[in-house]
Amino acid sequence: MVDSSNDFGRIIKQQRITLQLTLQQLADVSGVSPSHLGRIERGERFPSAHILRKIAQPLNFGEDELFTLAGYLSSEPLKVTEKDPTYSSGRLDPYVAAVLSQEPVEIQRTVIGILTLLKNIGRSMSE
C-alpha cells in the first residue's frame, strides 16, 4: 500500500473536486457513507478493496488505476514494451513509461495519479 494514506486521500479528494462532486453526491452514487469518504480523504482511514470498487467509477478511475494508486496491485517497477497492451492502446506514452520505470514505485504511483487527474480535467473541459 502507499506509504501515506494522506497522499492517497488527497488524490481521491482532488479527483472528487475536479469532477465537482460533493462528498454527499459521491456517497449517493457509490453507496459509501459521506463520513467514511471524508475519513479516507483526510487519511484517517485507508479504503478496503470493496470500497475502492465502489468509488472507482464515480471518480472516473479504472479499477486497476485506483488499485495501483492504493498499492493493492503489483509494486513491481513499471516495464512497458511495444508488445505490452498498454503501449499499443496508447494509454501510456512509451517515453513516459521508460522514464517511470527508472523511478521508485511510490513516484510511479504519484505520477500515474497526476496524469489520471490531468486526463480527467482535459476530458471535462472538452465536454
Give the rounded percent of residues in the chain with a pLDDT score beyond 90.
Answer: 31
- Average per-residue pLDDT for the chain: 78
Grade residue 88 by pLDDT with cuts at 50, 70 and 90.
very low
Structure-block grid coordinates of residue 122: 482535459
Question: How far apart are alpha carbons 112 and 66 in whole angstroms?
Answer: 10
59-68 average pLDDT score: 85
Question: How far apart are alpha carbons 33 and 66 in whole angstroms?
Answer: 19
pLDDT digits 0-9 by tens, 48-62: 888 999 999 999 988
Give the rounded percent of residues in the chain with a pLDDT score beyond 70.
Answer: 75
Whole-model pTM above 0.75? no
Question: How far apart are alpha carbons 51 and 106 in whole angstroms?
Answer: 22
Task: Please name each of the domains of the chain with its CATH number.
Answer: 5-125 (1.10.260.40)
Structure-block grid coordinates of residue 8: 492517497
37-55 average pLDDT score: 91
